[in-house]
Structure 1
């Protein structure tokens, strides 16, 4: 592991490299969706606006977009402040809390529930692994090793829960207004565990929603805990008089 000062210099470039890889995978996957749609034999399978809106309705895609944005903004902030030891601002720490939580949960859910689903013809192997494995691992590494992490209040977990709740509500409402492009069913769900026609009704879907919600809250709590541990430790400095600095005495937990 590089020393702290070297890690501070290198981390923005690692973030930018990961963001470029994630963005390339998203663009590549979108191109596959568009090309396959153009080649479809039926009107409902080739309807481009529906295909694109479906693409951006996947939690994986939205989470990766949030992660790319967070990595780029985080890298820009770090480069702008590379000559000082300023902790990341609270808004940036909150953005990384959300991005890291969503991506870690994406990696867990994919590898537990979705890895067995064939991807031939709908996704490249490298895009699949990048979006579901590589970027989640990058965000996990950011939680554990990114320099100048700020400690957040436990209440910030509630902020991380807002987007997943909104996404579930959007998905369940929208599903019955969309024709499924694969089979022409008068509904479309991005994941089989959200489809009541597969899960034996909404009660079965609710079980998955509760389980994933618990995972999101649990991962967010873990990310906040790590940030509080690392944030407090990063401010454990002393002044030249040998007394604790104000930052060490009163770490910012906003």
Structure 2
């Protein structure tokens, strides 16, 4: 089962990479300022979260082929990636699906992979794939670290350049009164990220790592018995 998910992780990571590269190449060929485009492109939460997810999937595939269970640090990083991708799935489909973003022409197939199918796979992989261990609640807050850094970076850069990756972060166009409207969106999304993150971490409490629960067959064979 671990090896099966290893193969699926490689395929999912490949799909994400192809989708990112495809959209990047398409948009780069149509923008007047390539330098600004590159920085803007890699400032989207979707692109960053998918990039992290692709790396996590490839590392997870390597672990699935070589180990019976995943290291605790990797479990935490994978929980973060799953949370961010689930957030991407929900925010896009609720707030952004019908909005055209200013990064040149969007490739429909790439858009669906990055916003729908890849996030769905990350969630299913987290729920179904064997080998993950428990994540202590004391580490739960690490899930919020990257989104906080991204929001601070986005708002500071937006104040200087006037460019924001998503309309609801732009105080000039966001519903509400300037930054008050933006604040409402940021708080709502932050709350959702924490809610999803708590569910992701909570799932690890439902079962224990099989490799920890039961010693390996070779170890049992070597264990002396009384008699």
TM-score by length of 2: 0.89
Counterpart of 2:29?
Answer: 35
**Is the aligned partner of 1:159 residue 2:159?**
no
- Deviation of residue 8 (structure 1)? 1.6
1:130 to 113, 122, 127: 113
Q: Is the 8 A contact 1:149 1:230 kept in 2?
A: no
Distance 1:95 1:238, change over 3 A: closer
Counterparts of 1:54-69 in structure 2, within 5 Å, are 54-69=40-55
- Per-residue CA deviation, residues 58-112 of structure 1 (Å, 9 max, x unaligned), is 000000000000000010111122xxx3x21111101101100000000000011
Q: Which runs of 5+ in 2 are unaligned?
A: 218-227
Question: Is 1:13 equivalent to 2:7 in the alignment?
Answer: yes
Of 38, 50, 56, the residue aligned with 1:52 is 38
- CA–CA distance in structure 2, aligned partners of residues 27 and 154 of structure 1: 36
Q: Paired residue for 2:169?
A: 194
Equivalent residues in 2 for 1:148-227, closer than 5 Å: 148-178=131-161, 187-199=162-174, 200-227=177-204
Q: Structure 1: any 5+ residue segments left out of the alignment? A: 1-6, 38-45, 179-186, 241-254
Equivalents in 2 of 1:112, 1:23: separation in Å? 24
Q: CA deviation at 1:124?
A: 1.0
Match of 2:220 in 1: none
User: 1:233 Cα shift?
Assistant: 7.0
Q: From the superposition, tell whether residues 99 and 208 of structure 1 become closer, same or farther in structure 2 (CA, over 3 Å).
A: same
Pairs aligned (count):
214
Q: Which residue number corresponds to residue 82 of structure 2?
A: 100
Question: Residues of 1 paired with 2:101 and 2:171: CA distance?
Answer: 22
Match of 2:221 in 1: none
Distance 1:208 1:119, change over 3 A: closer
- For normalisation by structure 1, the TM-score amounts to 0.80
How far 1:224 moved relative to its partner? Answer: 0.4
Report deviation, 1:49: 1.2
Judge conservation of contact 2:131–2:209 (CA < 8 Å) in 1.
no
User: Which whole-Å CA distance do the structure 2 matches of 1:233 and 1:80 have between them?
Assistant: 15
The runs of at least 4 aligned residues of structure 1 exceeding 2 Å deviation read 118-121, 230-240
